[in-house]
């Protein structure tokens, strides 16, 4: 799977440089197919189960509830790639994943739910609507999958 994503990222970089052509749209379609596959596995996990960590509890419904609002047609190829990486990390139960573009470590929605409240850092996958972010910090916009 890592090979697939590294190929997609390489192709995406070429698409960005050369513009979207027929073969570029094919890469985007492949990313969407991969996203749909991961989403279908994730949605099938939604249920009444509850997990506990460090005194905080959350349900699978809270973990995957954002999926119903994601508008794939509004996401760029890079954003779709990030969204898919995030879903895979959630599937594995990971608290973090590596940003495919920058290599930075990013907290998943799961890590934020385990924390129990907004930390105020304007995180990409904050499930609390950035309620703890100070007003003087630059605002991020929500692209239907995460904050950018």
How confident is the model over 25-83, as pLDDT tens digits? 565 666 666 666 665 655 444 444 445 444 455 666 778 888 888 888 888 888 988 99
Given this model, what pLDDT does residue 100 score? 86
Report the predicted TM-score, pTM, of the whole model to 2 decimal places.
Answer: 0.67
For residue 8, the tally of other CB atoms under 10 A from its CB is 20
Q: Who contacts 81 (Cβ-Cβ below 8 Å, separation ≥6)?
A: 5, 8, 9, 12, 31, 100
Give the burial class of 81: count Cβ atoms within 10 A of its Cβ; 0-12 exposed, 13-18 middle, 19 or more buried: buried
Residue 75 near residue 12 (C-beta atoms within 8 A) = no
Q: Which token pair is 56? A: 């905080």
Residue whose entry in the numeric block shows the structure tokens 């509830």: 65
Residue whose entry in the numeric block shows the structure tokens 């094919």: 26
Helix-then-strand count for the chain, H and E: 5, 4
Residue 113's pLDDT band (cuts 50, 70, 90): very high
With CA atoms as reference, report the closest residue to 64 among 36, 99, 39: 39
Rounded CA gap, 58 and 35, in Å? Answer: 24
Given this model, what pLDDT does residue 47 score? 42
């Amino acid at each position: 799977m890592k090979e697939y994503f590294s190929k997609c990222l390489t192709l995406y970089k070429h698409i960005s440089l050369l513009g979207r052509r027929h073969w570029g749209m094919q890469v985007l379609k492949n990313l969407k197919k991969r996203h749909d596959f991961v989403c279908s596995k994730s949605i099938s996990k939604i249920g009444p189960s509850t997990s506990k960590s460090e005194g905080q509890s959350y349900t699978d419904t809270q973990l995957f509830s954002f999926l119903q609002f994601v508008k794939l047609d509004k996401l760029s190829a890079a954003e779709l790639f990030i969204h898919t990486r995030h879903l895979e990390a959630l599937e594995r139960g990971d608290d973090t994943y590596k940003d495919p573009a920058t290599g930075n470590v990013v907290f998943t929605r799961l890590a934020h739910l385990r924390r129990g409240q907004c930390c105020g850092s304007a995180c990409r996958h904050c499930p609390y609507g950035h309620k703890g972010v100070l007003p003087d910090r630059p605002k991020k916009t929500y692209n239907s999958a995460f904050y950018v």
